[in-house]
Amino acid sequence: MIIAVGCDHAGYEPPDGGYVPAIVAFLEQEGHRVVHCGTRGAESVDYPDFAARVCQAVLSGQADRGVLVCGTGIGMSIAANRYCGIRAAMCLNEEMADLARRHNDANILCLGRRTMALDTCLKVLKVWLDTPFSGEERHRRRIEKLDMTDQEGSSCGSDCPCL
């Protein structure tokens, strides 16, 4: 698979140089091709910029899936899920990664540098990469509803106060 990887500065935080170099090495060791979407250092940057790059790579077909890293995984997940067709999941353990793929067909995995140990991140990543979407009708139907929400612009209707 081709995997787009992106992060904010948390992906390269000291003292160990961050998780992103280890994630990229792991992906390559597993036989995946990596499209690095930045950033490449610990200088403070804005996570939505790098979420956008990974989302665009996945949506354009340049990458099959994406991995995003920030301090908690929350910001990247929020940013990525703003893009129609993206199903980003912040997974803290292997069960979440398995279900994100089998039930939700998550195409982007979000990880937290400050909330997860590196070995846990790599285990979660491995499960997420190896788990196929189940394709069960109930899960396809739910994803189709999400896609309709994307197309309509809001799940709460045209009189939504947030529009």
Average pLDDT of the chain is 93
The answer to whether 76 touches 110, Cβ cutoff 8 Å, is yes
pLDDT at 150: 67
What is the rounded distance in angstroms from the CA atom of residue 5 to the CA atom of residue 18?
14
Examine the pLDDT at 35 and tell me if it is beyond 60: yes
Estimate the crossing angle of helix 20-29 against helix 118-130, to 10 degrees: 40
Strand partners, 65: 3
Q: How far is CA 6 from CA 11, 25, 136, 154, 162, in A?
A: 8, 14, 30, 27, 29
- In the chain, where are the structural domains located? 2-134
pLDDT tens digits for 72-115? 999 999 999 999 999 999 999 999 999 999 999 999 999 999 99
Instruction: Please confirm, yes or no, whether 70 is among the known catalytic residues.
Output: yes
- The HSE-up count of residue 25 (CA atoms within 13 Å, CB side) is 7
pLDDT at 153: 62
The answer to whether 68 touches 76, Cβ cutoff 8 Å, is yes
Ordered alpha helix ranges (H), 13-70: 20-29, 47-60
Which of these, 86, 148, 94, 95, lies nearest to 122 by C-alpha position? 94
Write down the catalytic residue from 32, 36, 103, 139. 103
Ordered alpha helix ranges (H), 64-136: 74-80, 94-102, 118-130
What is the rounded distance in angstroms from the CA atom of residue 86 to the CA atom of residue 80?
7
Radius of gyration of the chain (CA): 16
Instruction: Please confirm, yes or no, whether 103 is among the known catalytic residues.
Output: yes
Write down the catalytic residue from 7, 37, 70, 91. 70
CATH of domain 2-134: 3.40.1400.10
pLDDT at 163: 40
- Give the global pTM: 0.91
Examine the pLDDT at 12 and tell me if it is beyond 50: yes
